[in-house]
Structure 1
Amino acid sequence: MPAFLLNRPWLLAFLLGALSVLAMPPVHAVPVLLATIPGFLWLLGRAPGWRRAAWWGFGFGFGFHVAGLYWITHSLFTDVGRWWWLVPVAAPGIALPMAAFSVIPALAAWWLPPGWRRWLGFGAAWVAAEMLRGILFTGFPWNLLGTVWAFHALPLQPASVIGVHGLSLLTVLLAGLPVLRSRAAWAGGIAVLALWMGFGAWRLAEPLPPDHAVRLVLVQGNVAQDTKWDPARRMPIFQRYLELSAEGARAQAAAHPGQPILVIWPETASPFLLAQDAEAMRLAGAALPPEALLLAGTVRAEWGSDGRLQALFNSLVALDPTGRAVGLFDKAHLVPFGEYMPLGGILPIRMVTGGVDFSAGPGPEVLHLPGGLPSPGPLICYEVIFPARVVGEERPAWLLNVTNDAWFGISAGPYQHLAAARLRAVEEGLPMVRAAQTGVSAIFDATGRERARLGLGASGLLMAELPAALAPTLFARCGLWLPLGFLVLFLVFSVPWRRSPSGESG
């Protein structure tokens, strides 16, 4: 370790946190955690007091979130003339409150005695902090450590039991094994990893139910965010979606005659208020063959009797070939600063596009489709990142994530978003269909295996058959209670409950 860093422990903690992001999508360099997590624990063991440990923990979290959320800055370039002053501070500004959660495992590691108690308590406290981060202040559970395994379906399978938080717990404990300096610990870690992968292989070997006889056509328009709402570009953009929809639906109808077809547009794909624009609905319906339905992302408005705008919604509307709306879903979990301004307008800036806050829908629910078609559970944009909060009281036949990742350009952001969607499929035992305005669009079966993908920055169609659901997983039935139970158990075991006569922990 260079002496320069040893003499600047906060900077060392920051760098260890930033390096840990290499384990996240899209790089997935998971072995880097075998250096960064033990390094962080070693550093915390040198802290002369709890204040210094907390400060170093904050530094680790700040590095982790600045490096992991750098792509947020890209959204400001869509109106850089207005928001240029936020460019250097956007990612650090969001990382600051996120970093505060890293103080929790740092203090736990400092307080607990060295050895297995510190190792075990640190892992449990890390996951406790992740869970709190997903709940407090509307929640932002982005880049949970269990996401590092989303490069393949095999290591994701325990999420069907313990969720992504359980994967995070296992990941921290395995990565922290070097601090134990024990061959027995390494042997135990290898055994756990073998059981982990064995469970994944067993679950993936189980036969899946037959696919639904429903053909999917996902339309990825790849529209740049800075041109999307340009009045001169609206009709050409709409025409692009119509032409791609007609092409894909005709191809599916010819290849699979008689089977129903679902054409899916991503979040706010329509540059018009589609659910209230009769001509736009007629044109969209005209692009469909008789056996098709269109599920389209759009902004929806409600006006009062005096003609004044009362509410805006980020919505998904279902249209039949006559252009008639046969289903509607409104986004429930809105993005702070992006779709509404927190604190009731107290802040002196307005960052929401158009200057009008969106209104929230009722929450996770099923979008019932006509003709007995399998009904999806829609998730608009970042609604998909919340474990155990994507399915309501009624279980859907599949999950549909429509999103607009054009805000974040060619960066790590869309891949991190995709990884979260893949994990929800495994956790719930439901297929995940993801339509993105600009990548990555993908289809995963109920075990998280990838069926099809359309890459980032591409324009085109993604066509496949709709996978079937599995029976509700243990995680789908128990939610966060299982990972919460494990972290509480581990915290209890890590605490030294008795003292030796000399006053030291026993």
Structure 2
Amino acid sequence: MPDATLRPAGAGGIAAGRPGHRLASRLATLTGWRRYAAAAAFGGLATFALPPAGAVPVLLLAFPGLLWLLEGTATRRAAFFTGWWFGFGHFVLGLYWISFALLTDVAKFWWMMPFAIAGLPALLAIFIGLATLVLHIVCGRLKLSGLARILAFAIVWTVFEYLRGHVFTGFPWNLIGYSWTGFLPVLQSVAVIGIYGLGLLTVAVAALPALLPDPSESVMRARASVAVGLVLLGAMGLAGWVRLSQADSATVPGVRLRVVQPAIPQTLKWVPSEKARNFERLLELTAEPAAAGTAPVTHVVWPETAVPFFVERDGGARQAMASVTPPGGSIITGAPRIRVEEDGENRFWNSLHAVDGSGAVVASFDKFHLVPFGEYMPLRGILPVGGIAAGATDFSSGPGPATLDVPGLPPFSPLICYEVIFPGAVKDFHNRPDWLLNVTNDAWYGKTAGPHQHFEIARVRAVEEGLPLVRAANTGISGIFDGYGRVTAYLGLGERGVVDADLPVMLPITPYGRFGDIILVLLLMSFSLVTTIARQTR
């Protein structure tokens, strides 16, 4: 069979003697568990393109490998499960770190380990399975092959990746476009097309080598398509390089931030006997003198739930904070918030407060995008167990993105924990902030890939919006990005300390910041048009 031409329904087939035909034909003839094991392996391979590894070239094998496996699928069921196993391998390896959160209380949450390790990847893999199923149906009915099939694959992948980011509250973690976070020139494109648009182009280019053994395309056209794809990425990189070469490093006059990273182990964070000591550690780090010859600190940022008390009700905690607050400035901190309802029930929020030098709360914000099974239990009626972070009572959600005004600071948009992962939903569109503030606690995940991925995802939001982003983590990883995604301050995973830095200025509003995913729709329409042309001219 390796030397034959394989032509399943709706596929271009594999021709003998063409580049890559032996590997392609071998993959296309796999059946049963061998096909699915290979799909899972290619999905796992694609994970290495993402942070922290950033080995983007592996996609040039992972996506063609998936398409070659799909060449041999004659049924819709096989097409779905080939994609599903690719997704399962991809998400098991890329999201293994989520299970580490359960280790903070194994006796209580042991039953959730299988769900965290395999259940969540199994659910997320459905989106990729549906993408390959739709590809199989579309290619069969429209007789798509060659370049048209490659472009159709990129379209359906992007559509279902977008759905993954929005359906059932959404989980747009490890989108394929994040492969470029280590390559700032290419990453600049998200200022125009967003992370989903970058993912669309990435999948299309990475899948082009699948054309090389395809008999529906001439060798010359197949090679030319691959070359054009690589040239496109090169042009994007060149445009990004030009943008970065013209960037300045202007900062906001009169603003000097201190980002505090206390590095408190999650196992000790909420222990009653440790709460006071944890709070004192924050005060001590805040009170440390600035480096000689540097401007004085004007404002301090603490991480998510840094204060283990209800700040609005605890005057003693506010006065302690006021004692180390810079003159005329404030401390911005994460903390839980409570309100007693008329029926006597307590409601809780994961919140952020700004406390000034008098001990007054001058601004507050409630987290609006809560973590399922972490901050609330979606199936509480069936599983009467509290969320991992929330405990016995669910957190309530806030009203949505907001722009806060704190004396002495430009207006900013707060983002608590994973609120930063949602493209296009990090600011109030009617009141654009000057910068973004992300407070988080990644200590749940230890020294795994999770905190690195979270940090790089935050970088992309800065580039998309053209807004500097300040990130304060309990541990892993704190820092500051400018509107180009360049790191201007950094505290590594597990480090305890502070970093003092100026606040970069905001950039003019980016096309993505102005139009959001409307640009993605136009890009998908353009791909559909090119797909039609490629189908008619093959």
Indicate which of 424, 443, 447 corresponds to 2:461. Answer: 424
Q: How does 1:375-414 map to 2 (within 5 A)?
A: 375-392=411-428, 393-414=430-451
Contact in 1 for aligned 2:135/2:152 (Cα 8 Å): yes
* Corresponding residue number in structure 2 for 1:502: none
Residues 382-426 of structure 1: CA deviation (Å, up to 9, x unaligned): 000000111112101100000000111110111111111000000
Deviation at 1:348, TM superposition (A): 4.3
SS of equivalent to 1:23:
coil
1:344 Cα deviation (Å)? 5.7
Q: Secondary structure at the match of 1:232?
A: helix
1:309-324 maps to which residues of 2 (within 5 A)?
Answer: 309-324=345-360
Alignment partner of 1:157 is 2:188: yes
What is the match of residue 442 of structure 1? Answer: 479
1:82 corresponds, among 108, 124, 127, to 108
Inter-partner Cα distance in structure 1 for 2:501 and 2:181:
22
Q: Paired residue for 1:224?
A: 265
How far apart are residue 244 of structure 1 and its match? Answer: 0.2
Hey, what does 1:471 align to over in structure 2? 508
Moved more, 78-87 or 21-30: 78-87
Check 1:265–1:383 CA distance in 2 against 1; reply closer, same or farther (3 A cut).
same
* Aligned sequence identity (%): 46
Q: Which residue identity is paired with 2:355?
A: L
Distance 2:84 2:327 in 1: 58
Determine the C-alpha separation between the residues in 2 that align with 1:136 and 1:433.
28
Runs of 4+ with >6 A deviation: 2-5, 496-499
Q: What residue ranges of structure 2 are gaps of 5+ in the alignment?
A: 1-22, 213-221
Q: Offset at 1:171?
A: 0.8
What is the distance in 2 between the residues matched to 1:81 and 1:377?
38
User: Residue 275 of structure 1: SS of its match in structure 2?
Assistant: coil
CA contact (8 A) 1:124 1:488 kept: no
How far did residue 209 of structure 1 move?
Answer: 6.8
Contact 2:290 2:500 in 1 (8 A): no
Q: Structure 1: how far apart are the matches of 2:345 and 2:407?
A: 31
Quote how far apart the aligned CAs of 1:334 are: 0.7
- The aligned residue for residue 117 of structure 1 is 148
Distance 1:4 1:168 in 2: 26
> Any unmatched runs of 5+ in structure 1?
500-504
Structure 2 residue 200 is the aligned partner of structure 1 residue 169: yes
Give me the whole-angstrom Cα distance separating, in 2, the residues matched to 1:367 and 1:345.
Answer: 36
CA RMSD of aligned residues (A): 2.1
TM-score (norm 1): 0.93
Contact residue 266 and residue 403 of structure 1 kept, 8 A: yes
1:130 aligns with 2:161: yes
Letter in 2 for 1:327: A
1:477-496 residue pairs with structure 2 within 5 A?
477-494=514-531
For residue 44 of structure 2, the aligned residue among 18, 21, 28 is 18
1:28 and 2:54 are equivalent in the alignment: yes
Once the two structures are overlaid, the 10-residue window that deviates more, 344-353 or 97-106, is: 344-353
Q: Is the 8 A contact 1:228 1:234 kept in 2?
A: yes
Q: TM-score, normalised by structure 2?
A: 0.88
Match of 1:180 among 203, 206, 211: 211
2:367 to 331, 346, 356: 331
**Are positions 1:256 and 2:292 aligned together?**
no
Report the residue type matching 2:252 in the other structure.
Answer: H
Count of aligned positions: 495
2:248 to 208, 227, 233: 208
How far 1:489 sits from its partner (Å)?
3.1
Give a deviation string over 1:262-303, Cα, whole Å, max 9, x none. Answer: 100000011111222100000011012313310001011112
Residue 273 and residue 103 in structure 1: after superposition, are their counterparts in 2 closer, same or farther (change >3 A)?
A: same
Residue in 2 that maps onto 1:192: 232
